[in-house]
Structure 1
Amino acid sequence: MQLKDTPPTSPCSNETMDYNELFEDEVEEVIDGEAASSNNYIEANDASDEDIGIGLEGSENSEGNNPVRDDSASVFSHHKGSVFCCHLQPKAGRLAVTGAEDDMAYVWETHSGEVVLQCKGHKDSVTCVRFNYDGSYVATGDMSGVIQVWKIANKLQVWETCIGDLTWLRWHHGANVLLAGTESGEVYVWRIPGGECKVLPGHGDKADCGLMLPDGKRMAIGYADGSLKIFDTKTATVLHHVPQGQAHTGTITDMDCHPDNNLLISSSVDGHAVVLKTQTGKVSRPVLF
């Protein structure tokens, strides 16, 4: 498939909607009590040179004497360009989804590498792929802003849209609600598969990352100018706005929230990680690296 540069922003729809009437009872508070219980990895202090495929200089395992050791259980090699994103199906991890430079996304079995679903129809490199919270849907997004949602059970596409240049794609952690950030700063929130939509407004700077808080009702957005906002997703209103310079002076690259919903940590290209209180938006503890 022909590779190409990212096209200019060209949203596919200018329809307006009454967002305040959407998702009235969609999102309940979600508490996930599951804890990791498996430990299938070799402890670092217990691993020998032989375990990790590295020998001393001059040994029979050194480079040049033998091929590089491959301990992979399976290899997926259907893509015809750089692979940009991947995600494992929640809980069982039986399926994986990958997106690549060849304008394709594939859902495949992790134990065999067999293709379960080819997500066709993208117009540019696929840079975002995510299963929903229970693994029943998968969303794929490309650099031109085409987003598709597929149902795993019947392998059918159930929804598609186009929003212009896409920066990230996430699912709500307890409901079939899809979230997407854009170069222009708006964040879209859709109920799947119906497609009802809300828009969390931007201010002209790229929405570089987003996070649904554990309560399932608020969302934090980090922007390219270093500002951060916390939204009420039901009303699409800003609860707290941390302006540029108060927490960060550069692009916010990632965020995470404590399970009690009270503390949010954000990281930035300015070399700072900042802890702030989600109830007030007040910066609690800046850390310089």
Structure 2
Amino acid sequence: MTGPAEQTAVETEKAIEKPVIVSLKNLTLSFGGITALKDVSVDIRANEILAIIGPNGAGKTCLLNCLNGFYKPQKGQILFEGKNITRIRPDRAAQMGLARTFQNIELFSGLTTLENAMAARHVFMKQNLLTGGIYFGPAHVEEIRHRRIVEDIIDFLEIEAVRHHVVATLPYGMRKRIELARALALEPKVLLLDEPMAGMNTEEKEDIARFIVDIFEGQGETYPDTPVLRDGVRAIVLIEHDMGVVMDLADRIVVLDFGRKIAEGTPEEIRNNPQVISAYLGESATR
């Protein structure tokens, strides 16, 4: 039998063996005299859920904003599947396979659930204005295919009942699911979740946690025509303040504090890291 220390070492070694999908190297991001990120390096690996934690203002959302093109770091480099995407546009990042949800919900509030999810599919649409005007031609076939994928995602997230509801009229927790649906409609290779459970009650958090696990693992032949549901998402990056959720879901955790990375490791390693306890978790988290 192996003890806890040996088991942790084995888990860490296994994590290192997983191929890197995204590599953030020495990122520095400043706004005037304020440094949001300072020399931060993080690898996002295949087949794992990576959690990024830290106090408010630690730079967690800034890291995601650099990753999918909203912010451009002053220093450092971002490699996605070996390609330099440090200066990429957000729409191009989405086409390549980086999709995200936002800390503050960013939906088209005047559109329905279905319309919000379909809007994400526009990055994949190939028909030009000429063929698009012929409804019963190639554009119609393409629309049917995109609609089928979106309907599968709506079914998976259990939001069929609000398919045709304008999102501005829906409860907060439901809008959070719709934003997740829109991100999935982009068929991401890497799914970035920025506080997907913020403001939710216990039951809503349990639902989102279940969806995250199911998205990661894939649903097999339940959704044979929708690869993102059938095969799962290769990697998920999760920003979340609920440490119970983080410790249960994450394979690996990165801790930021004042824009610097102060720790990285398995949940057990992070739970027992004195620097992390002092900066963020507190003594109660170790009990």
Structure with the larger strand share? 1
If asked which structure has higher relative contact order (CA below 8 Å, sep 6+), I would say 2
TM-score (norm 1): 0.30
- Greater Rg over alpha carbons, structure: 1
